[in-house]
Amino acid sequence: MGEFFIVAVIVLIVLAFLILVSCIKIVPQAHAMVVERLGGYLATWGVGIHMKAPFIDRIARKVVLKEQVVDFPPQPVITKDNVTMQIDTVVYYQITDPKLYAYGVESPLMAIENLTATTLRNIIGDLELDETLTSRETINTTMRASLDIATDPWGIKVNRVELKNIIPPAAIQDAMEKQMKAERERREAILRAEGEKKSTILVAEGKKESAILDAEAEKQAAILRAEAKKEATIREAEGQAEAILKIQQANADGLRMLKLAAPDESVIQLKSLEAFAKAADGKATKIIIPSEIQGLAGLAKSVTEIAGN
């Protein structure tokens, strides 16, 4: 009997110890625990060690406070111009209030998925196909604002919303590919035409510059030729002036020497006769000889006859 009592006490001590240990809870970093007492909300435990009352307290929910990512499957949406396409979204969210998250909505992720699909349909329904394909940033911003407001009562903050894929119908894809191909060909043709135009302009400018350079060179050559001709004319004129000056100098020297020789009247008359002979030069048909020269001519004849005898 005594041994049974001892065993029972030991069992009770072990059970009490196990119960005490089970009531000790450690909350790690970036986590939280929602605690209930007798089915009602009691407290939200943050990081650290905590103790709950056995049997009457329980951990209703463990919450991760880190930012989380959920990738929703493609949702069918219809654009304003009645084009049906598949769009899948990625939502980045974070739990800011564990109590609201635990008691605000039954299935938070399903609620976010449905809300995302509804919001996406509302936004895309006001846009045409081209606007949908080119307005991703606008759609992301609008969806994030709408989801953030709608999930605020659930203790959830939506940080970002991204459209992962926009998948239009196959016929639309083919048409878009053909359009893109035609656009690329058009741009190629434009670029080729612009290249040819620039090439033609460059060739014309080259010819123009070449013609200008040729004209400039011809102008410089003409200027140089004119300067050379001018210099030659100046040198020729200077030579003629110098020759005339030398002739005049020679005449002056001859007169000076004649004056120094003091010739008599007969010599002077004879020199005058030689001058008239040079003046005639055999070309004159009629020569008027002064009377003094005539007498000199008779004198010259007499001298010639005496010399002959």
Domain map (residue ranges) of the chain: 2-64, 68-168, 182-262, 263-280+287-309
State yes or no: pLDDT of 60 exceeds 80: yes
- Give the model's pLDDT for residue 306: 41
Taking residues 29-40, report their average pLDDT: 91
State yes or no: pLDDT of 35 exceeds 90: yes
State yes or no: pLDDT of 294 exceeds 60: no
* Confidence grade of residue 307 (pLDDT, cut at 50, 70, 90): very low
- Give the model's pLDDT for residue 300: 46
* Confidence grade of residue 299 (pLDDT, cut at 50, 70, 90): very low
- Give the model's pLDDT for residue 227: 86
- Give the model's pLDDT for residue 149: 92
Angle between helices 108-124 and 136-151 (to 10 degrees): 140
State yes or no: pLDDT of 13 exceeds 90: no
Cβ–Cβ < 8 Å for 63, 32: yes
State yes or no: pLDDT of 287 exceeds 70: no
CA atoms within 13 A on the CB side of 128: 2
Q: What is the separation, in whole angstroms, between the first and last Cα of the chain?
A: 215
Question: 40-45 and 31-37 as β-strands: parallel, antiparallel, unpaired?
Answer: antiparallel
CATH of domain 68-168: 3.30.479.30
State yes or no: pLDDT of 216 exceeds 80: yes
d(CA 93, CA 188): 45
State yes or no: pLDDT of 305 exceeds 70: no
Joined together, the tokens standing for residue 193 give 């035409």
d(CA 35, CA 194): 74
* Confidence grade of residue 217 (pLDDT, cut at 50, 70, 90): confident
Taking residues 129-141, report their average pLDDT: 85
- Give the model's pLDDT for residue 267: 57
State yes or no: pLDDT of 158 exceeds 50: yes
* Angstrom distances, CA of residue 234 to CA of 227, 237, 244, 249: 10, 5, 15, 22
Taking residues 32-40, report their average pLDDT: 91
Cβ-in-10-Å burial (0-12, 13-18, 19+) of 128 comes to middle
- 20-24: long-range contacts (C-beta < 8 A, 24 or more apart)? 20/54, 22/54, 23/51, 23/52, 23/53, 23/54, 23/57, 24/49, 24/50, 24/51
Amino acid occupying residue 157:
K
State yes or no: pLDDT of 243 exceeds 90: no
DSSP character string of 238-280 = HHHHHHHHHHHHHHHHHHHHHHHH---HHHHHHHHHHHHHHHH
* Angstrom distances, CA of residue 300 to CA of 269, 275, 282: 10, 15, 20
- CB count in 10 Å sphere of residue 277: 11
- Give the model's pLDDT for residue 104: 87
Q: pTM, whole model, 2 decimals?
A: 0.55
- Give the model's pLDDT for residue 308: 45
* Confidence grade of residue 255 (pLDDT, cut at 50, 70, 90): low
Interval 93-109: pLDDT, tens: 999 999 999 998 888 88
* Contacts of residue 253, Cβ cutoff 8 Å, sequence gap at least 6: none
SS3 88: strand
Beta-strand ranges (E) seen in the chain are 24-27, 31-37, 40-45, 48-51, 57-64, 68-71, 75-78, 84-95, 156-167
Average of per-residue pLDDT values in the chain: 81
Cβ–Cβ < 8 Å for 124, 87: yes
- Give the model's pLDDT for residue 44: 92
